[in-house]
Amino acid sequence: MSSPSSSPARRREVGEGGELPVPVPVPASVVGDDKVLAAAQHIVKSLATSKNAADDMIRILSGFDHRLSSITSDLFPSPSPAAASDADPAEPPGEQEPSSSTSSSSLADFDAAEQLIHLWDTTPEALVFEAPEDDAAHYLAAVDVAVDHLSAPAVSARAGVAVQLAMSRLEDELRHLMLRHSVPLDASGLYCSLRRLSLGSMDDLDTSSEFDPATPHSQDGGAGAGPDTARSASIAGNNPFEDQVFDLVRPDAIDEIRAIADRMLHAGYDSELAQVYCAIRRDLLDECLTVLGVERLSIDEVQRIEWKHLNDKMKKWVHGVKTVVRCLLTGERRLCDQVLAVSDELRDECFVESTKCCIMQIRNFGDAVSVCTRSPEKLSRILDMYEALAEVIPELKELFFGSYGGDVIHDLEGVLERLGDAVKGTLLEFGKVLQQESSRRPMMAGEIHPMTRYVMNYLRLLVVYCDTLDILLDDSGAGAVDHNILHNGTDEDQEYLKSLTPFGRRLVKLISYLEVNLDEKSKLYEDGALQCIFSMNNTLYIVQKVKDSELGRILGDHWIRRRRGKIRQNSKSYLRVSWTKVLSYLKDDGHGSSGSGSFGSSGNSSSRIKEKIKNFNLAFEELYRSQTVWKVPDPQLREELKISISENVIPAYRAFTGRYGSLVDSGRNSGKYIKYTPEDLENHLSDLFEGSLGSANHSRRR
């Protein structure tokens, strides 16, 4: 049988043959039961510090072998002073240097300690810290004695074997305690909280019936998204575990775990300690991430996920990051500080190592999202991820420090930068979509284009990220003033642009892309008047979305005044294009004398007046048929257009029919030419722009 090493080597093997040396010499006459009894007597005599302690030890030993219950504490004298210590058994002794001539009392202490360690090793299925209360203290005391004798020449080899056996058991004991006393996340409560907190934010932008940049021909079927104040509650806080002290291991087990860690460190088994500790904590943190819904996904897997499912995973990542940092990692740091307090270096190393996979999982998903295909619907989710990570990095710096933690922070700051680049790239892509969208089918009735609804609801919901976007766009140089944003802009316009924030200037640019695109789409209408209606509808919708939201605060009154001026200009253009020809038939060309209604002796003059009234009727009825189908959704704009038409048409019609009506529409020809009274025209005009088919015979005079 080979002799074990005299140094505290970090190995489990006892000897090449697997046999243990006989730890305590006994007389040759003592065999069988007497040998077991003698060994037990020696352990109790050496370690017992009082009669009560002796009784406890006899009870412990009898648990291994019922024959030992026959031992009585009265057989044993008081233990030697060396065995009785006032120190807390949970605390390892300080380093001792036994003299070259180790006292017989010290050797007796070691013999007893060695016997206890070997005795526990005969029952590997039993656990010291599951035994009665004093068992752990006695075992730890025995470990302390064995470690202290590693450098004693007379027993160094035996001490090395005893320490190896003890360390192997303590590893198992540590693993058992950490697993048994770990505190699991409340999965059901957490899932409910996550679901509740996910209701809101830009992720609820309803584009199912809106314009989709990926499908330019989609039609509008709804009013759009909800108010711009909607946003995920998680971004503002309300995390279910936020700012709470969360114990990852039950507090009543900390002392026992720390006592084991202290012995392993004192014996030089810091590597084994770190391996066991980190493996257990790493697996438990991985389980916590699973509960939070933060999955381990590769970049390729993320790229292949459908948007609906990816959106859900991104939401869970946002909630998960905050929970991980403010609950799990904070608790993990506190646990390391408690258990590994005797070694600052090992404490920091174990914290980084045990959280490495957790951090890597968070980092990898962030990196995967940052390189996904740029598409507008992902922007708010990426911004949520960016803001969540930016918010917790300062807190992470308080947890990860020194040489071990610096790399972790550096990696996460890299993820943050790449998410920021993804935000800027997505905004650029969104601008290109607006410029390149080229659907050629005009909207029926000149209504608001789905693209207008989509873009304005989209921009409204971006406002909640304005502070973050100001930082990102300014850092990228996108905040520089672009003098081409406003076409034909005046000096006042350029000063206005300089007064805006970087995000404000980007908003102006994106809306200008939309306006240019809408101008091109208006040309799809052959009727110039309908072009004006289309432009008014869409411009007013844009103005209203800006004015009734935080966009108004960012863009300011100058921008709104410019668009209202454009609406007035389109209104005048509509009246000119649509009604100039109708009104031309009501002009007085001097065909008759004023007052008498006589038009002279020329029959040609009477015919020309009849022709004018006939042409007016035809032109008005044609406008009525077409413009009752046209749609002006805004009631105020619709009413203003009707009033403008009435103010131009009704007075001219009343004057013309009052002057010439009796001359061309009297006697048996009554109603043949003058079909409408001024009141009839007024009623007909009230039907315009309602988006429903009207009747040319509505309120017609019989």
Residue 107 C-alpha from the chain's centroid: 63
In this structure, the answer to whether residues 327 and 262 fall within a common structural domain is: no
In this structure, the answer to whether residues 262 and 329 fall within a common structural domain is: no
Average pLDDT, the chain: 79
Over 70: is that where the pLDDT of 669 sits?
no
Report in angstroms the alpha-carbon separations of 631 from 210, 409, 442, 536, 638: 18, 57, 13, 11, 9
State the Rg of the chain over Cα: 45
CA–CA distance, 258 with 411 (Å, rounded to integer): 31
Average of per-residue pLDDT across 596-622: 75
Residue 249 gets which letter from DSSP? Answer: B
CB hemisphere CA count around 543 (13 angstroms): 20
In this structure, the answer to whether residues 303 and 366 fall within a common structural domain is: yes
Average of per-residue pLDDT across 333-361: 92
**458-515 pLDDT tens trace:** 999 999 999 999 999 985 444 445 555 555 567 788 899 999 999 999 999 999 999 9
Does residue 40 lie in a domain region?
no
Does residue 399 lie in a domain region?
yes
What is the structure's pLDDT at 221? Answer: 39
Q: Is the CB of residue 630 less than 8 Å from the CB of residue 530?
A: yes
Does residue 234 lie in a domain region?
no
How many structural domains does the chain have? 4
In this structure, the answer to whether residues 330 and 445 fall within a common structural domain is: no
In this structure, the answer to whether residues 625 and 531 fall within a common structural domain is: no
Residue 431: burial class (beta carbons within 10 Å; 0-12, 13-18, 19+): middle
What is the structure's pLDDT at 47? Answer: 59
Q: Which domain holds residue 661?
A: 605-687
Closest residue by Cα to residue 386 from 409, 414, 358: 414
| Least confident piece of the model among 131-135, 234-238, 436-440, 479-483 | 234-238
Q: Is the CB of residue 385 less than 8 Å from the CB of residue 366?
A: yes
Over 70: is that where the pLDDT of 387 sits?
yes
Highest mean pLDDT among 66-75, 93-102, 472-481: 472-481
What is the structure's pLDDT at 643? Answer: 96
Average of per-residue pLDDT across 242-263: 85
Average of per-residue pLDDT across 571-595: 81
CA–CA distance, 692 with 628 (Å, rounded to integer): 6
What is the structure's pLDDT at 93? Answer: 53
Does residue 569 lie in a domain region?
yes
675 three-class SS = coil
What is the structure's pLDDT at 674? Answer: 86
Residue 117 C-alpha from the chain's centroid: 53
For the chain, counts of helices (H) and of strands (E): 24, 0
In this structure, the answer to whether residues 449 and 569 fall within a common structural domain is: yes
Does residue 331 lie in a domain region?
yes
In this structure, the answer to whether residues 465 and 548 fall within a common structural domain is: yes
Q: Tell the residue number behind the tokens 């844009």, with chain if given.
A: 542
What is the structure's pLDDT at 81? Answer: 32
In this structure, the answer to whether residues 377 and 508 fall within a common structural domain is: no
> Cα-flanking dihedrals φ and ψ of residue 308, to 5°?
-60, -45
CA–CA distance, 432 with 419 (Å, rounded to integer): 20
| Least confident piece of the model among 38-52, 434-448, 515-529 | 38-52
In this structure, the answer to whether residues 332 and 450 fall within a common structural domain is: no
In this structure, the answer to whether residues 572 and 611 fall within a common structural domain is: no
In this structure, the answer to whether residues 455 and 558 fall within a common structural domain is: yes
Note every long-range contact of 682-688, with CB atoms under 8 Å and residues 24 or more positions apart, other chains counting.
682/646, 682/650, 684/620, 684/624, 685/642, 685/645, 685/646, 685/649, 685/650, 686/642, 687/624, 687/628, 688/624, 688/627, 688/628, 688/630, 688/641, 688/642, 688/645
What is the structure's pLDDT at 566? Answer: 96
Question: Is the model more confident about 694 or about 631?
Answer: 631
CA–CA distance, 702 with 700 (Å, rounded to integer): 6
How far is the first Cα of the chain from the last one, in angstroms, to the nearest whole number?
Answer: 130
**554-578 pLDDT tens trace:** 999 999 999 999 999 999 999 999 9
Q: Is the CB of residue 376 less than 8 Å from the CB of residue 428?
A: no
**Percent of the chain beyond pLDDT 70?**
70
Q: Cα-Cα-Cα-Cα dihedral of 45, 51, 52, 56, to 10°?
A: 30
- The two tokens of residue 394 are 């300062």
Over 90: is that where the pLDDT of 425 sits?
yes
What is the structure's pLDDT at 697? Answer: 45
Highest mean pLDDT among 30-44, 177-191, 582-596: 177-191
Residue 523 gets which letter from DSSP? Answer: T
Q: Please, where are the H alpha helices in 324-378?
A: 330-339, 344-370
What is the structure's pLDDT at 553? Answer: 95
Residues near 43 by Cβ (< 8 Å), separated by ≥ 6?
57, 61, 112, 115, 116, 119
CA–CA distance, 320 with 318 (Å, rounded to integer): 5
Does residue 508 lie in a domain region?
yes
Residues near 341 by Cβ (< 8 Å), separated by ≥ 6?
258, 347
Over 90: is that where the pLDDT of 148 sits?
yes
Question: Is the model more confident about 506 or about 15?
Answer: 506
Provide the CATH number for the domain around residue 676.
1.20.1280.170
Over 90: is that where the pLDDT of 39 sits?
no
Does residue 590 lie in a domain region?
no
**181-218 pLDDT tens trace:** 998 876 555 444 444 444 344 444 444 344 555 544 34
Confidence at 658, pLDDT banded by 50, 70, 90: confident
In this structure, the answer to whether residues 350 and 309 fall within a common structural domain is: yes
What is the structure's pLDDT at 63? Answer: 63
Question: Is the model more confident about 177 or about 233?
Answer: 177
Q: What pTM was estimated for this model as a whole?
A: 0.75
Does residue 672 lie in a domain region?
yes
CB hemisphere CA count around 650 (13 angstroms): 16
Average of per-residue pLDDT across 99-125: 81
What is the structure's pLDDT at 86? Answer: 43
